[in-house]
Amino acid sequence: MDLNALKEAVVEMQEETALALTKQYLAGGAAPLSLFKAYQAALAEIGRRYEQEIYFIPELIMAGEMMNTASNLIKPLLAGNVGITESKLGKVLIATVEGDIHDIGKDIVTMMMDLNGFEVKDIGVDVPIDRIITEAEAFGADIIGLSGLLSLVFDPMKKLVEALTAQGLRNKYKVIIGGGQMDEKACAYIGADAFTTDAVAGVNICKAWMG
């Protein structure tokens, strides 16, 4: 099913059209995850426009509201397609790092981790690195998930990994980074254990780590 019309509606801030298309595609039998991916692609484009100063904070907020509305429609359908386990595989602390206010991708990952049997603590957006480490220690996390849509998050993520190393904690945690700008080069620069641009792939990486 071609979901380009949905992607374009989100990118162009056509809130009512996006919602109508989301309902239409779901009623037509579209896979819930495919709709998430269309929203993710739209948000990546919105992020690029933000970096180019074509879009600004109001557009980011509207995009977030559109995604939250869609999530409320999609999440109940998604639960039936993902294996829900009783025992917890491990603990994941997740945050959008300092300098970034995006929570869309993070919220999707948090939901998918929860559905797949992880105990997840989401500590929000624009979180300083010291707080991320403090929260990870208090929570007893196995994995630290760092989210960010814009390339400006690379340096805060790198500083967090360096801080873990300096405090003798680096080997205690697996660090996964996520967002539309992430790739192997960014992962190497930051010093993370893995990167992902896809919520499902990210869950599978974390599952593999926890055995």
Domains of the chain listed by start with CATH number: 4-79 (1.10.1240.10), 91-209 (3.40.50.280)
Q: What is the chain written as a DSSP string?
A: ---HHHHHHHHTT-HHHHHHHHHHHHHTT--HHHHHHHHHHHHHHHHHHHHTTSS-HHHHHHHHHHHHHHHHHHHHHHHTTS---SS---EEEEEEBTT----HHHHHHHHHHHHTT-EEEE--SSB-HHHHHHHHHHHT-SEEEEE-SSGGGHHHHHHHHHHHHHTT-GGG-EEEEESTT--HHHHHHHT-SEEESSHHHHHHHHHHHT-
Quick: pLDDT tens for 4-21: 999 999 999 999 999 999
pLDDT tens per residue across span 17-46: 999 999 999 999 998 888 988 887 887 788
pTM summary value = 0.66
